[in-house]
Amino acid sequence: MKTLRENSLTICFLLFFFASLTAQAIAGHAAFNADQLQHGGKEISLGSYVVSASYGAAVLENWQSEYLQFTLLILLTVWLLQRGSPESKELNKAGGESDEDQKLGRHSSPKSPAWARARGIRRTLYSNSLVIVMGFIWICSWLGQSIAGWTEYSDQRIEHLQEPLRWTQYLGNPDFWERTFQNWQSEFLAVASMSILAVYLRQRGSPESKPVGTPHDTTGAEG
């Protein structure tokens, strides 16, 4: 029970994730078959739909935009500030901060991660490990989206007796960029909204909000 309680946030969102992924598969399968029948095609099974390019593209285009959002948020909040927002660091702490502030090297404690006490490339890698991994997942998701979207788009062209595109051609196609930008714009708006709304609005007990009685111009405080 202690393990569940101490990891309840991650577990809860993973359950939400698998439930939503399943629901998307069911709804997408129904929509795909309805479209197939409308155009004189054959229905496919749920299993066939889940491994199809149509489902893969729909899933991955959302994954890549989410990981792009977090990659940029992690990276840009090192230097960029928003006065009064808990999403921002304090106004006098822009930048990578000192080794003492970050508890690196001789400023680390016995309980600090081993790579925080290390020197050279290991410390540098660990100091940037979160954005490196998030960025890598984003690139892999975007690559996966491009391949799945290319496969789906080429299948549609073949159905209409047209030549399929090469993958490199698809990367310059409006279909790829429309799928990409329709997700990016929503992520950027969500982050901008959270950054500014948290200056003036509160949620008691949430680390995404300042304490309820904190002045609006207090920056970097968490509830």
Neighbour-count burial of 205, counting CB atoms closer than 10 A to its CB (0-12 exposed, 13-18 middle, 19+ buried): exposed
Q: What are phi and psi of 212, to 5 degrees?
A: -55, -40
Q: Counting runs of H as helices and runs of E as strands, what totals does the chain give?
A: 10, 0
Helix, strand, coil shares of the chain, percent, nearest 5, are 65, 0, 35
The CA distance from 53 to 51, in Å, is 7
Whether residue 182 contacts residue 48, with contact meaning beta carbons closer than 8 Å, is answered with: no
Distance CA 91, CA 100 (A): 18
* Regions of the chain where pLDDT drops below 50: none
**What is the rounded (10 degree) CA torsion for 155, 161, 167, 169?**
-140
Are 181 and 61 contacting, i.e. CB atoms less than 8 angstroms apart? no
pLDDT (0 to 100) of residue 160: 81
Q: Write down the pLDDT at residue 159.
A: 82
